[in-house]
Structure 1
Amino acid sequence: MERICFLLKVRPDRIEEYRRRHADVWPEMRQALHDTGWHNYSLFLRDDGLLVGYLETEDFEAARAAMNAAEVNARWQAEMGPMFEALDGAAPDEAMRPLVEVFHLP
């Protein structure tokens, strides 16, 4: 099982909206994440917009590719994309760059 952690930056003027949207994630989006292998997925948001994501999956690249193929993900990313800083034209899920794990205490 791969443990994946990544960082993104939510625009300061969109933080409250981002929180509201994630308090009620679409059921079909939640199902797509589950069906494509995203498990134990959490997002943590600091007051300045720093977003830390964590998930567990058997194969991150396969899970990400499967989500990219899901129609619901295209709609979700189109709505969420404007809430982020520094994506350089990429969708938020494409801008995820996993951090290198340097320690783990099971």
Structure 2
Amino acid sequence: MKRFKKTAFIDSAVPRRKTPVTQRVCFTLRVRPERMAEYRERHAAVWPDMLRALAQTGWTNYSLFLAPDGLLVGYLETEDFDAARARMADTEVNARWQAEMAPFFEGTDGAAADDSFNVLTEVFNLETQLAALSAQGEGAGK
């Protein structure tokens, strides 16, 4: 296990976001065990048109994480998730991508992953709490 050196907390060292993001979105899906290797391969080289469409429709800092049991966790940041999803749904490349990806997932009954994922509720965000702490003058807390 890698050990990290202890350092003093310096507020000025906390990275600040340069672009406005109003929503952080995390969602889950389940990839079929027998399709996990191919799912990884497909996402190692996503179509350039799909990458551009995601960026142009407001999906930023988008990542997917796949657990050994097939649990897929997605994370993205966007100004308006519903609007970003709607814009993406209107693209031809997304229709093709979703049709190709649908068989990879369990529990979707063949529906597009975009229409089937379970969006999670955010319960903690470091940046938000640090900003609140800073606004309080750092005097509050333990």
- What TM-score comes out, normalization by structure 2 length? 0.73
Equivalent residue in structure 2 for 1:45, among 62, 66, 76: 66
Structure 1: any 5+ residue segments left out of the alignment? none
SS of the aligned residue for 1:51 comes to strand
Shift of 1:89: 4.0
Indicate the SS of the match to 2:118.
Answer: coil
Query: Matches of 1:2 and 1:50 in 2, distance apart?
Result: 23
Question: What is the CA-CA distance between 1:98 and the residue it aligns to?
Answer: 1.4
How many pairs align?
Answer: 106
TM-score under structure 1 normalisation?
A: 0.97
Which runs of 5 or more structure 2 residues have no equivalent in the other structure?
1-21, 128-142
SS of residue paired to 2:62: strand
> Rg bigger for which structure?
2
SS where residue 119 of structure 2 aligns?
coil
Q: Which residue of 2 aligns with 1:11?
A: 32
From 78, 103, 106, give the equivalent of 2:124.
Answer: 103
**Hey, what does 1:29 align to over in structure 2?**
50
The runs of at least 4 aligned residues of structure 1 exceeding 6 Å deviation read none
SS at match of 1:64: helix
Deviation at 1:96, TM superposition (A): 2.0
Q: CA deviation at 1:48?
A: 1.0
Contact in 1 for aligned 2:36/2:70 (Cα 8 Å):
yes
